[in-house]
Structure 1
Amino acid sequence: MISKYLGFDSDYIIIGLAVLVVILLVLWIVNIVQIKSLKKNYKVFMSGKNAKTLEDTLIKRLDEVEHLLKANAANEKNIKKIFANMKYTYQKIGLVKYDAFHEMGGKLSFSLALLNETNDGFVLNAVHSREGCYTYIKEIIDGNSVLVLAEEEQEALDMAKNSRS
């Protein structure tokens, strides 16, 4: 009687409801299979351990993580300190060996330039002769010397300034 007022046959309603019941039945079966699989995995996870040992394991791991975080913070602080100190260490080197008097028969004299990151440092010049060895040092500030540099000293300084820091 309702079907006459709505304008369609009641057979279509019954078929639609039957299809809906079949779909719900299939979904119910899939759900049961998934729950059984989840229960099986849960039993495997919990087998051999009680809640107390699991809690102890978690607390131990959290303590280890906290210790690692503190150690990491200390390492970062130390690395920053090392980088700050590196600016003042001699890290650029230039070395030129030469024969100061041409009668010695060997390159026994040398000029050594040592510079830090900001090109501050010194040039050490050692002149070797028959009478002895004489060493001179000249201060370098911002890549330049207040005193006049010999050719070999300037070459060592240029070598140091162009070296990779």
Structure 2
Amino acid sequence: MIEQYLGFSSDYILLGLAALVLIMIILLIVFIVQMSKLKKRYKIFMEGSTARSLEDTLIYRLEQVDELIEANASNERNIDTIFKNMQSCFQKIGLVKYDAFNEMGGKLSFSLCLLNENNSGFIINAMHSREGCYTYVKEIIDGNSIIQLAEEEEKALQQALGDN
């Protein structure tokens, strides 16, 4: 009777349903195996720990993260302060040793240039002779001097500026 309405035999329907049941049983077995593996991993994870000790461990780690965040913020503030202070420190140096007078040997005279980040600072020129040592200081602003520089002082300035 059903065969007349559908146009095919009920045997095909039963075979289709049997195949579907077989596929469902296979999927059920796969899911049971996966669940078993998951339970084993969970037991290993929780072994030796209670839920309370796990919670305490998580809280402790979160507190450590908060401390690290605070320490990082403090370090950033300190680094900013250091960089601001470094701008006014002498960072560039030029030194030229020379003989100021022909009768003296050993290059005991020198010109020393010290500059900060903005190329401002000073040049110390110490000229050594038999009678004594004469020292002069010339101010440098933005890589230039208001006072005329001697050849050795100019070389020291160029060294400090990196022009060599």
TM-score norm. by structure 2 comes to 0.93
In 2, distance between residues paired with 1:7 and 1:85? 94
Task: Give the superposition deviation at 1:95.
Answer: 0.6
- Counterpart in 1 of 2:149? 149
Task: Give the superposition deviation at 1:25.
Answer: 1.0
Q: State the superposition RMSD in angstroms.
A: 1.4
- Counterpart in 2 of 1:34? 34
- The percentage of aligned residue pairs carrying the same residue is 66
- Counterpart in 1 of 2:136? 136
Paired positions, count: 163
How is 1:21-100 mapped onto 2 (pairs within 5 angstroms)?
21-100=21-100
Mark the runs of 5 or more structure 2 residues left unpaired by the alignment.
none
User: Any idea what the Cα deviations from partners look like across 1:64-112, whole Å, max 9, x if unmatched?
Assistant: 1111110010001111111111111110111111111021111111111
Over 4 Å off, 4+ runs: none
Deviates more, 1:104-113 or 1:3-12: 3-12
In 1, distance between residues paired with 2:53 and 2:125? 71
In 2, distance between residues paired with 1:130 and 1:34? 97
Change (3 A) 1:3 1:92: farther
User: Any idea what the Cα deviations from partners look like across 1:40-76, whole Å, max 9, x if unmatched?
Assistant: 1111111211122222111111111111110010001
- Counterpart in 2 of 1:161? 161
- Counterpart in 1 of 2:101? 101
Mark the runs of 5 or more structure 1 residues left unpaired by the alignment.
none
For 1:40, the aligned partner's letter is: K
